[in-house]
């Protein structure tokens, strides 16, 4: 499932062709993705101008004239693919929603598994939307810091890996970047979250910011389905220090034992037992 860097990359890729442009045609080719599409979605979007394309956690946030917001999630296999004017690209079976701008640019929401979603929300109700209202701070924003992270972790007896996957603690961090951030901070994924205070919390908050920033610069990480809006892969996987590198040498020490893998809450965690305490 795309995490924060992938969704941020998609948002940035959509901003150029969409912001300030009017949607002259919207096609909905299915009635539902993960949930039913909003009633008369195509009619309600056609003719509207896009004001801003952004992101909240793992959600796309597309603000429209008239005070409404198109909220989107890519799910397990969703893609937003950009087709420039005049380019011949046959439609695919899983192009479920297609947006066309006044300049002839197409944005195709392709979702083979249909775990993605779209909703149309009044701007005034966005913060209280059921998918957004309980989210924690944005890790790349000023509202996220070592002390804020420490406060969120205080009293939590879960492993720190599980804690930073909790979207109420910090928004948008998923399995890949949790492993990478814990490695960069030198913290064991098994460590109790409540013990990550003071300097440890500062290290971890800084590592989360750094890892996410580098991942965005690389266009995210492509595993199975994720691609950027131009169809290119994300290249951050080439910079992974530990994720999916079980048995390989640790890049930060000479422990000789290599990267280990363990399963926590049904998800793989990758780490170095010597470097991470």
Looking at the fold, whether 21 and 111 belong to one and the same domain comes out as yes
Contact (Cβ atoms closer than 8 angstroms) between residue 137 and residue 151: no
- Please give the pLDDT value at position 252: 83
Distance between CA atoms of residues 49 and 54, nearest Å: 15
Which one is catalytic: 2, 17, 137, 189? 2
| Residue 27 annotated to the active site | no
Which one is catalytic: 12, 22, 44, 267? 267
| Residue 17 annotated to the active site | no
Which one is catalytic: 55, 56, 58, 275? 58
Q: Please, which pLDDT band fits residue 254 given cuts at 50, 70 and 90?
A: confident
Structure tokens at 51: 């004001």
As beta bridge partners, residue 27 has: 98
Looking at the fold, whether 119 and 191 belong to one and the same domain comes out as no
- Please give the pLDDT value at position 224: 62
Which one is catalytic: 3, 8, 68, 180? 3
pLDDT over threshold 80, residue 225: no
Contact (Cβ atoms closer than 8 angstroms) between residue 82 and residue 12: no
Q: Is residue 51 part of a domain?
A: yes
Report helix, strand or coil for 41.
Answer: helix
- Burial class of residue 52 (count of CB atoms within 10 Å of its CB; 0-12, 13-18, 19+): middle
Looking at the fold, whether 14 and 85 belong to one and the same domain comes out as yes
Q: Please, which pLDDT band fits residue 223 given cuts at 50, 70 and 90?
A: low
- The last residue of one of the domains, among 125, 157, 172, is 125
Q: Is residue 46 part of a domain?
A: yes
- pTM value is 0.94
Q: Is residue 200 part of a domain?
A: yes
Handedness of CA 209, 143, 71, 100 (dihedral sign): negative
- Residue 128's CB is within 10 A of a number of other CB atoms, namely 9
Please enumerate, as own/partner, the contacts of 30-34 that have beta carbons within 8 Å and a separation of 24 or more. Answer: 30/96, 30/97, 30/114, 32/114, 33/75, 33/96, 33/111, 33/114, 33/115, 33/116, 33/117, 33/118, 34/73, 34/75, 34/114, 34/115, 34/116, 34/117
Report helix, strand or coil for 4.
Answer: helix
Looking at the fold, whether 154 and 49 belong to one and the same domain comes out as no
Looking at the fold, whether 154 and 99 belong to one and the same domain comes out as no
Nearby residues of 123 by Cβ (< 8 Å), 6 or more positions away: 63, 67, 68, 69
pLDDT over threshold 80, residue 81: yes
pLDDT over threshold 80, residue 1: no
Q: Is residue 212 part of a domain?
A: yes
Looking at the fold, whether 170 and 232 belong to one and the same domain comes out as yes
Task: Give the residue among 8, 75, 77 at the shortest CA–CA distance from 223.
Answer: 77
pLDDT over threshold 90, residue 9: yes
- CATH code, 45: 3.20.190.10
Q: Is residue 276 part of a domain?
A: no
Report helix, strand or coil for 186.
Answer: coil
The total domain count for the chain is 2
Q: What is the residue range of 78's domain?
A: 4-125
| Residue 2 annotated to the active site | yes
φ/ψ of residue 52, rounded to 5: -160, 140
- CATH code, 160: 1.10.8.50
Q: Please, which pLDDT band fits residue 234 given cuts at 50, 70 and 90?
A: confident
Structure tokens at 222: 């492509």
Question: What is the DSSP secondary-structure string of 124-152?
Answer: GGSTTSTTTTT----TTSTT--HHHHHHH
Handedness of CA 235, 175, 213, 225 (dihedral sign): positive
| Residue 44 annotated to the active site | no
Distance between CA atoms of residues 151 and 207, nearest Å: 17
Q: Give the largest Cα separation in the chain, rounded.
A: 62
pLDDT over threshold 90, residue 137: yes
């Amino acid at each position: 499932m795309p995490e924060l860097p992938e969704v941020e990359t998609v948002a940035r890729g959509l901003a150029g062709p969409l912001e300030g442009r009017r949607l002259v045609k919207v096609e909905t080719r299915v009635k539902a993705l993960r949930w039913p599409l909003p009633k008369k979605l195509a009619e309600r979007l056609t003719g509207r101008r896009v004001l801003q394309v952004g992101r909240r956690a793992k959600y796309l946030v597309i603000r429209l004239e008239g005070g409404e917001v198109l909220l989107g999630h890519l799910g397990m296999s969703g893609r937003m693919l950009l087709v420039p004017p005049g380019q011949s690209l046959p439609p695919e079976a899983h192009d479920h929603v297609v947006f066309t701008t006044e300049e002839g640019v197409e944005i195709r929401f392709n979702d083979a598994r249909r775990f993605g979603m779209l909703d149309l929300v009044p701007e005034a109700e966005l913060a209280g939307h059921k998918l957004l209202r309980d989210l924690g701070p944005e890790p790349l924003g000023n509202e996220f810091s070592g002390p804020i992270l420490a406060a969120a972790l205080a009293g939590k007896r879960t492993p720190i890996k599980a804690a930073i996957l909790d979207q109420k603690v910090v928004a948008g961090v998923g399995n890949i970047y949790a492993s990478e951030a814990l490695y960069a901070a030198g913290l064991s994924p098994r460590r109790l979250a409540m013990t990550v205070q003071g300097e440890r919390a500062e290290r971890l908050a800084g590592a989360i910011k750094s890892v996410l920033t580098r991942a965005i610069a690389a266009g995210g990480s492509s595993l199975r389905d994720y691609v950027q809006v131009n169809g290119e892969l994300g290249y951050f996987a080439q910079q992974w220090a530990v994720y999916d590198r079980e048995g390989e040498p640790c890049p930060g020490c000479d422990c000789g034992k290599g990267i280990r893998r363990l399963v926590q809450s049904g998800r793989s965690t990758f780490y170095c037992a010597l470097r991470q305490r």
